Amino acid sequence: MIRRIVVLLFLCGGTCFSVLAQKFVWKAGMYNFFENNEFANSRLQIPQTMAGVHLAPQIGLQIDGNQRIFAGFDAMHEYGSNEFADFLDPIAYYEFQNRSFRFYAGAFPRKAVLDRYPRIFFRDSINNYLPTVNGIFWEYREDANFFNVWLDWVSRQTVTRREAFFVGWSGRYNIDVLYGQHIGYMMHYAKTKQVDNLDHLYDNILTLTSLGIDLSHKTNFEQLEANVGWVFGLEQDRDMGDSHHPQGFLSELKVEYKGLELFNTFYKGKNQQVFRNVQGSALYWGEPMYQSSTYDRADLSVLFYKSDAVNLKLTWSLHFAESTVYYAQLFTATVELDNLGRKKGKRARYLWDNLLK
């Protein structure tokens, strides 16, 4: 008996020493958003104002130079709410990073891995109200080239909740100023566990293949990039045997110069999100305006402050659809701090630099 106690104490002591030998790490994020959409009389989008603030602290252990584990939460308080926290998402994940690979497993921040997806895949409010991915993410990268695959398990099947998950992928290959990219995902929207279930099973597959040119490093612009591509979708109701293949042309233009930014997207093709009137935003996470056969969005932004830690951005957004011009105003304030020793980027330039001296 005494021998067993001694062995147990030895093992516990060794474990504690091993834990204490690791380096404690932390991340702290604050994200404030205000989005006022003026879509009066639109049949595709409702006019609404969404505003709130996220607080996302994380603490963890650095196992070695490439591996870490983190735990924390993302608490969101909506402006005007009486609740302390209207949405609370747990964060707990394993992270591996080296020069060539990234790997996450668990519940981790969506912005860390899926920030390259256009709005036809994920509308702006997804990051605001669904800030975490529950699943895995793996990426190989070499300089600016990359390829990744990921899984996001959105909903666990119960008698009242459907099973739903995303499987996604994206990649980009650069040749000097030219590049090709491919982005896609499949949303599987299954049934509940109810007996004699009358729900239908849906699949929503969406891909974008495009070619572009990036002159950001060849000019005096912070961003100067354009691409053109083809969107292909497969939307089906398996129970009814109803299948659709919406596809069309999509282009993007990104220009940033000394604190001013223009981001324009244009779509022309078949109406996307065929089953939205039946299943709504549970099946479709993309911008609802892509239900239109012709849609252009122009974001005109002022970047008041831009750094590795703090970003302040005001946007006036113009939406051209349904033979109408709609408006939206957006303001975001982001603060991201950590003790991971991130490399500091060069100081941002602004047109109003001389006024601040």
Question: pLDDT tens digits for 287-297?
Answer: 999 999 999 99
- CA–CA distance, 248 with 261 (Å, rounded to integer): 26
Q: What is the pLDDT of residue 344?
A: 62
Q: Taking all residues of the chain, what is their mean pLDDT, rounded to a whole number?
A: 91
Q: What is the pLDDT of residue 3?
A: 53
Cα Rg of the chain, angstroms: 23
DSSP 103-165: EEEEEEEGGGT-TT--TTTS-THHHHH--EEEEEEEEEEETTEEEEEEEEEEE---SSS--EE
Dihedral sign of CA atoms 40, 127, 263, 207 in order: negative
Q: What is the DSSP letter of 352?
A: T
Residue 10 pLDDT > 70: no
- CA–CA distance, 333 with 310 (Å, rounded to integer): 7
Q: Which of 169-178, 259-268, 336-345 has the lowest mean pLDDT?
A: 336-345
- CA–CA distance, 248 with 231 (Å, rounded to integer): 5
Q: What is the pLDDT of residue 197?
A: 80
338 closest CA partner among 95, 176, 166: 95
Question: pLDDT tens digits for 214-264?
Answer: 999 999 999 999 999 999 999 999 989 899 999 999 999 999 999 999 999
Residue 351 pLDDT > 90: no
Summary count for the chain: helices (H), strands (E) = 4, 17
Asked if residues 333 and 20 have their Cβ atoms less than 8 Å apart, the reply is no
Question: pLDDT tens digits for 116-140?
Answer: 999 999 999 999 999 999 999 999 9
Question: pLDDT tens digits for 298-326?
Answer: 999 999 999 989 999 999 999 999 999 99
Question: pLDDT tens digits for 42-84?
Answer: 999 999 999 999 999 999 999 988 999 999 999 999 999 999 9
- CA–CA distance, 252 with 6 (Å, rounded to integer): 67
Q: Which of 155-159, 165-169, 324-328 has the lowest mean pLDDT?
A: 155-159
Q: What is the DSSP letter of 199?
A: P
Residue 342: pLDDT band (50, 70, 90) is low
pTM of the complete model: 0.91
Count of alpha carbons within 13 angstroms of residue 306, beta-carbon side: 19
Calculate ∠ Cα 340-346-352, nearest 5°: 130
- CA–CA distance, 290 with 278 (Å, rounded to integer): 16
Q: Which of 43-52, 191-200, 268-277, 347-356 has the lowest mean pLDDT?
A: 347-356
Asked if residues 170 and 181 have their Cβ atoms less than 8 Å apart, the reply is yes
Q: What is the pLDDT of residue 8?
A: 43
Per-residue pLDDT, averaged over 147-154, amounts to 98
The neighbouring-strand residues paired with 310 are 335
123 closest CA partner among 254, 312, 307, 317: 317
Contacts of 235 (CB under 8 A, 6+ apart): 202, 203, 204, 205, 243, 244, 245, 246, 273, 274, 275
Residue 11: pLDDT band (50, 70, 90) is very low
Q: Tell me how far CA of residue 299 lies from CA of 167, 174, 296, 320, in angstroms.
A: 29, 26, 10, 12
- CA–CA distance, 31 with 74 (Å, rounded to integer): 10
Count of alpha carbons within 13 angstroms of residue 191, beta-carbon side: 12
Contacts of 76 (CB under 8 A, 6+ apart): 52, 53, 54, 85, 86, 87, 88, 89, 128, 129, 131
